[in-house]
Amino acid sequence: MQTTVLLADDHRIVREGLRRLLESREDISVVGEATNGEEAVRLVEDKRPDVVIMDISMPRLSGIDATRRICKNAGAADPAAEASGAEETRRTRVLILSMHESQTYVEEVLRAGASGYVLKDSPPSDLFAAIDAVRSGDSYLSPSVTQRVVNAIARPGDRPSLAVSSLTERERQVLELIAEGLSSKEIAARLGVSLKTIESHRANLMDKLDIHKVSGLVRFAIRAGLVAP
């Protein structure tokens, strides 16, 4: 059975490497490439691939938000599949391929509807196993990611990820940049918005997280796994 795949990553060299790897298997066909989240959503509607291999950090629309939109639209029937009674088999599944090992990211993309999560430093065999699993309607997590989730369940009192889930995508971006040491002016320039907008996001972050110092935001971001210590 042929598996059609759409690649969504803003780095060309990553996409080209993935295409070569995937097409080394005769039963996998790459039907398109997206350079940002918005393009990924559009191409899914056009190509209706079996699997989208999605990066998290992409311009215009993050992989998380793109996943949420794709999975929300997944109930829309493919006319050809609907006529044959095979709608479920044509549903597009999202497989996240990311450098982020954070439990927070894993939980968030799974809530968004992703069927799997593979780390970019995983061996090719893991990626192929993940594609086969999600294509058949199962889920797949890289072994190290699975262990992080299990550990988090074993420590129910240590749940910064629950607070992170209350943040918007833009608030999370601002939090990450604050934790990386950027000033409000530098963050505004990086994201292409006004200084007033960034100050508003920072105020919202402090209210939602009940943290009222920049040092506290940095510590929270590290605990949540959004940035490296």
Given this model, what pLDDT does residue 172 score? Answer: 86
Given this model, what pLDDT does residue 126 score? Answer: 95
How many percent of the chain have pLDDT more than 70? Answer: 84
- Asked if pLDDT for residue 15 goes beyond 70, the answer is yes
- Asked if pLDDT for residue 137 goes beyond 80, the answer is yes
Residue 148: pLDDT band with limits 50, 70, 90: low
Given this model, what pLDDT does residue 161 score? Answer: 57
- Asked if pLDDT for residue 146 goes beyond 80, the answer is no
Residue 132: pLDDT band with limits 50, 70, 90: very high
Q: What is the mean pLDDT of residues 178-207?
A: 91
Please measure the distance between the N-terminal and C-terminal CA atoms of the chain and give it in whole angstroms. 45
- Asked if pLDDT for residue 35 goes beyond 90, the answer is yes
Question: What does each C-alpha distance from 8 to 17, 39, 136 come to in angstroms?
Answer: 13, 8, 21
The whole-chain average pLDDT of the chain stands at 85
- Asked if pLDDT for residue 33 goes beyond 90, the answer is yes
Given this model, what pLDDT does residue 105 score? Answer: 81
- Asked if pLDDT for residue 152 goes beyond 90, the answer is no
The better pLDDT of the pair 71, 155 is held by 71
Given this model, what pLDDT does residue 83 score? Answer: 46
Q: Which structural domains are found in the chain, ordered by start?
A: 3-150 (3.40.50.2300), 160-223 (1.10.10.10)
Given this model, what pLDDT does residue 107 score? Answer: 80
- Asked if pLDDT for residue 147 goes beyond 70, the answer is no
pTM of the model: 0.66
Is residue 92 a contact partner of residue 81, using CB atoms and an 8 Å limit?
A: no
Angle, vertex CA 4, rays to CA 84 and CA 138, nearest 5: 80
Tens digits of residue pLDDT in 53-101:
999 988 888 899 999 999 988 754 444 444 444 444 468 999 999 988 8
Given this model, what pLDDT does residue 145 score? Answer: 78
